[in-house]
A = this chain, B = another copy of it.
C-alpha cells in the first residue's frame, strides 16, 4: 500500500493531457467544456477514485457548506426530531451540519458559537439555552455577515428569522380543555418569564382564565426550570395549601411527570381529584400511568420550516433582509391525566 496519496484534479489533468482548470470546469459542468472532455474526465476521476478536496474549494469559494446547529441538548425528543428534519432538508442541498449542544448553559452556548464561526460555517441555526438572556452572541454572527435562524427558544425583536409554535394559543387550548372537564381552579407551573415562549404561555393562561370568567390567583402561578424535581416540589407546595387546585397546567413534560409522581405517592387520584396537563409530547407521557395529556409541537414541521428559512437567507444574501417568522399551530393530545369525564 505505502503512503496514501490523494488524487487531485492535477492528476486527472496529467492523464488526459489537460490543465487542472479544464478538469475543474469539466467536473463543475461548465458550459464551455465539450461533452467529450466532460465524459472522459468523469471516467478518469472514477478510475483514480478522485475525491474533491472540500477545504480547497471552500477556501477559494469563500463558503464551507457547513451549517452550525446549536440546541440545548440532543437527548430530547423535540430537539432530536427537529434536528432530523433540518438534516433532511439541508443534506439535500449539499450542506453538512455541525451539531453542538449548549446543555442549557449560556457559557457553553457562547463557546459553541465561537467554535462554529472559527469553523467558517455558512450560517447558524439555534434554539437558545434556558439561561440565555442577552443576545450579544447575535452581534458576532451578524458581524460575520452570515445568516442566523432561531427556532422554538428564541423569539425576539432583533429581526432574526424565527420558527416556533403559538405558545399563547397552546395555553388557551389547555385551559379550554380543562374547563370542559369541569375544572374550576387551574394552577400553572411555568418556565421563567424572561423567555418569550414561557411568557406567552403564562399570558395565554391568564387570558384564557379570564375568558372563562375564572378568578385569577397569582399564588397559583409558579416559575421554575421545569425539571422533574421542580414539578415535584411545587406540587408538594400546592398540596399544602388550604385551597387546592383541581387541575395543574405544567409548561413542560418532565415537570408534569414529577408533579404526577408526587400526587400518586400522596394517594391523590389523577385526574379525578387533580388533573394534570404537560407540554411537549415527550415519549414517556404516553408510557406512564395515567398517561399525560400534553401539547404536541410539530417538531418535524418546525425543522423543515427552519431549514427552509435558512436556505432562503442564503439565497438572498445581499438583498435587503425580509424578516421571516413562522408560528405553527399547536395540537392538544388528550390522555388519561386530564379526562375526568
Contact = CB atoms under 8 A, between A and B. Distances in A.
Contacts of A84: 101, 103
Contacts of A66: 119
Contacts of A261: 287
Nearest to A115: B96
Interface stretch (A75-83, A181-189, A209-217, A323-331): A75-83
Contacts of A81: 75
A145 interface: yes
Given A64-B55, A115-B91, A287-B261, A143 B74 contact: no
Contacts of A87: 100-101
A63 to B, nearest CB: 10
A59 B52 contact: no
Contacts of A83: 74, 101
A177 to B, nearest CB: 24
A54 interface: yes
A74 B53 contact: no
Interface in A48-88: 49, 51-56, 58-59, 64, 66, 73-77, 80-81, 83-84, 87
B97 A54 contact: no
A118 B73 contact: no
Nearest to A71: B74
B99 A74 contact: yes
A314 interface: no
22 contacts: A4-B144, A53-B120, A54-B118, A55-B58, A55-B59, A55-B64, A55-B120, A59-B59, A73-B80, A74-B74, A75-B76, A75-B77, A87-B101, A91-B115, A96-B118, A97-B100, A99-B99, A257-B287, A284-B287, A287-B287, A287-B288, A289-B289
Q: Which 9 A-B pairs have the closest CB atoms?
A: A75-B80, A74-B74, A4-B145, A99-B99, A55-B59, A284-B284, A55-B58, A74-B80, A55-B120
